[in-house]
Structure 1
């Protein structure tokens, strides 16, 4: 029996969640079982009641933990209930639930291990603030640079994941998960399909994640840089080492040139000392890069072991 699990994170979505859940098609090609899951992330309204009224399973957090934690809860539930594909979609009605079939098709056809929606196929979506559109583009570039894959919409919450992808997924951030998931799965060799999706932005709607764009940019950049540190440690620390070395080299070259022409390093003696210190710092970062690369290999092996343990724990009948 093939099992499709459709999941929604929810924070105070009582006004919309029943209608969104009720509008989801009752049948999908290739699936015998369709389940609905809502992770109520500390709502203070009647979100839980409305979701249950739409025949969804509700898992509630006692307080708001963030969409990253909500996603981890959903992944754990998907593995426990032996779902073959997990779809995540927002509870506010921004996305078209009829496109779920398009989202799961590449996985069903073994063309991809996970799919992410692309809201930016040819233009900026109507009513999406220009600064938010620009910010998304910058995040796409950063995630694409780290993953070495052209990512068109790294922040879209409309996605689908195969069971194998979920089994090998390891997340550490609670604020958001969208970028970390892409980096983690691509780093492990899983393939992605980017599916064009329709989105509606409501003028009076405030984003639960990106309501403060500066804070959002800082937090997502931290997550992405941590991923770069973890997945490409030699590159990450090597760049820092190279930066210190170049500054050291140019300062040292300047002092050396002054000595050649004047036979004295006065008044640039301090420059020579700084150059030597920076050179030693660059050596320390190079050593750190080598150690981090070694630890990265150990981490990679540990994640393989963890995936095997998950496979035994959540083994399908």
Structure 2
């Protein structure tokens, strides 16, 4: 059976590297009868578009203005599916990853061993890139947080060099504008998709120019943690709201118990009088959050039904377009 690979490259102001990256995509990859390159220009103000055309990318989609990597990634997925992709590979436009690794990255997905294969820069010691300690710690912390939230151990969740099956791409539900790397892990892991890591060595350890995503590590960390928190809220509302509610309820109970215990032994609530209204408020708030957790969990089932409807509509629309072509 003939299979088609679409390699998509989201790009924003990458005029120095986009031509090199597009030309570096192998024309022949084992397991595929056709390989096409899709560039998503996310509102670049330099010569990214011209250089992508010069490199003869098979398809170029341009955002009128910069919408963020998350939006560019979703645009890429949608267009890759409409191009008839059986497997979609996403690779960064800065030239840090080696296009020759595309074949290795696609292999687990082609063989049916994974729904998504993601490059890991840290799985093998000899492949680990040199980077500032702060960046290394940040990568480790995010990877640890996502591994715990997703219920599976990973070594690198910040890398965008990945391969997705067609079914996986159709099933993804993403909302982040800023980035997509963490949200994809959360979305697919919580839907039961198989994710494997493929050790890869960077083609170059230092990118040309400054990162378009990580302009400030504190700001990046804050936005990424917000994405993780929202994913936990959406996929595990019972645990997310329930645990907070139980903790607040327990603190409120302890506050009132302290004041009550003092009254039993001394006949007075002083000096713990102020704990009574504070504890009462915490009991009410904690109870409300537990109720909210139960309601949110119930709504989570409705979300799954809506996602199934969205998947079927999307699949039907794309299949209809393919028949017309």
Q: Does the CA contact (< 8 Å) of 1:125 and 1:201 recur in 2?
A: no
Of 193, 196, 216 in structure 1, the residue corresponding to residue 196 of structure 2 is 193
Indicate if the aligned counterparts of 2:16 and 2:208 stay in contact, CA closer than 8 A. no
Scaled by the length of structure 1, the TM-score of the pair is: 0.97
Alignment of 1:143-154 (within 5 A): 143-154=146-157
Which residue of structure 1 lines up, in the alignment, with residue 11 of structure 2? Answer: 10
Listed as ranges, the gaps of 5+ residues in structure 2 are none
| SS of structure 2 residue aligned to 1:239 | helix
Deviation at 1:265, TM superposition (A): 1.1
The match for 1:74 is: 76
CA distance in 1, matches of 2:275, 2:23: 70
* 1:248 to 2:252 alignment: yes
The separation in 1 between residues aligned to 2:130 and 2:210, in whole angstroms, is: 12
For residues 121 and 12 of structure 2, the distance between their equivalents in structure 1, rounded to whole angstroms, comes to 22
Q: Please state how far the C-alpha of 1:210 moved relative to its aligned partner.
A: 1.3
1:176 aligns with 2:173: no
Question: Cα distance, 1:6 vs. partner?
Answer: 0.4
Gapped regions of structure 1 (runs ≥ 5): none
2:220 to 216, 222, 229: 216
Among residues 216, 237, 261, which one is paired with 1:257 in the alignment?
Answer: 261
* Residues 56-112 of structure 1 deviation map (CA, whole Å, 9 limit, x = unaligned): 121111111111111010011012111001101111210111000010000000000
Structure 2 distance, partners of 1:302, 1:175, is: 24
Q: How many Å apart are 1:204 and its aligned residue?
A: 5.9
2:47 corresponds to which residue?
A: 46
**Counterpart contact for 2:170–2:311, Cα < 8 Å:** yes
For residues 124-169 of structure 1, the C-alpha deviation after alignment (integer angstroms, 9 at most, x for no partner) is 8444221111101110111111110112111101001000001111
SS at match of 1:269: coil
* Cα distance in 1, alignment partners of residues 113 and 73 from structure 2: 24
Cα distance in 1 for residues equivalent to 2:171 and 2:130: 37
Q: Distance in 2 between matches of 1:255 and 1:196?
A: 58
For residues 17 and 278 of structure 1, the distance between their equivalents in structure 2, rounded to whole angstroms, comes to 55
Change (3 A) 1:203 1:68: closer
Q: Following TM superposition, where does structure 1 have runs of at least 4 consecutive aligned residues deviating by more than 3 angstroms? A: 122-127
Aligned length: 317
Matches of 2:213 and 2:122 in 1, distance apart?
19
Match of 2:308 among 279, 291, 304: 304
Matches of 1:5 and 1:160 in 2, distance apart?
Answer: 10
Q: 2:41 is paired with a residue of what secondary structure?
A: strand
- SS across alignment from 2:31: coil
- What's the Cα RMSD here? 1.4
Match in the other structure for 1:92: 94
Q: Equivalents in 2 of 1:121, 1:205: separation in Å?
A: 27
Partner SS state of residue 153, structure 1: coil
CA contact (8 A) 1:127 1:203 kept: no
Asked if structure 1 preserves the Cα contact closer than 8 Å seen for 2:25 and 2:37, the reply is no
Are residues 1:294 and 2:298 paired?
A: yes
Indicate if the aligned counterparts of 1:2 and 1:30 stay in contact, CA closer than 8 A: yes
